[in-house]
């Protein structure tokens, strides 16, 4: 083999190895997020919703089926419904991140809480904001076995 071919083969091997590392790194991220933002629209509060999936395996096991919000006094209260898509019990951990109207996090040091979703079951997770400034939330869900990744 000549020097040019050997060098090209070496570079190609490094590129493929690097791309494999990137793809594998993306595949093991361990979380799913549901977020909502309360907006005033014609004097009625509406919840804008979005779901971010960072772990396809967890997303295939657990589906977010509904999100609701209300105010208890001046505190934002949310409820998120989860459904198990498999027959086995799926242990998860969750936590809420609460954000003010400008998107800044309030009370950022919330602990992860354990939660069990049994086979083909629908369960709800509820949370009440710790501060009346909260107008937006993120519910983060992770696999406890991958807790260090998220």
Computed over every residue of the chain, the mean pLDDT equals 77
Q: 77-81 contacts: CB < 8 A, separation 24 or more?
A: 77/126, 77/127, 77/128, 77/129, 78/36, 78/126, 78/127, 78/137, 78/139, 79/124, 79/125, 79/126, 80/34, 80/124, 80/125, 80/126, 80/139, 81/122, 81/123, 81/124
Determine which of 25-29, 35-39, 95-99, 137-141 has the lowest per-residue pLDDT on average.
25-29
CATH topology of domain 30-149: Immunoglobulin-like (2.60.40)
Q: Is the pLDDT score of 10 beyond 50? A: no
Band of residue 15 on the pLDDT scale cut at 50, 70, 90: very low
The domain locations on the chain are 30-149
Q: Is the pLDDT score of 69 beyond 70? A: yes
């Amino acid at each position: 083999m000549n020097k040019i071919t050997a060098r090209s083969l070496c570079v190609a091997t490094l590129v493929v190895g690097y791309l494999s590392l990137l793809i594998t790194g993306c595949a093991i991220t361990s979380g799913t997020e549901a977020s909502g933002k309360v907006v005033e629209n014609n004097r009625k509060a509406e919840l804008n919703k979005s779901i971010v999936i960072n772990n396809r395996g967890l997303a295939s096991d657990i589906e977010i089926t509904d999100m609701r919000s209300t105010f208890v006094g001046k505190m934002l209260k949310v409820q998120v419904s989860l459904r198990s898509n498999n027959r086995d019990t799926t242990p998860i951990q969750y936590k809420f991140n609460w954000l003010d109207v400008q998107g800044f996090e309030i009370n950022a040091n919330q602990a992860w809480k354990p939660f069990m979703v049994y086979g083909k079951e629908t369960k709800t997770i509820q949370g009440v904001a710790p501060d009346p400034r909260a107008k937006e939330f993120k519910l983060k869900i992770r696999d406890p076995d991958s807790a260090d990744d998220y």
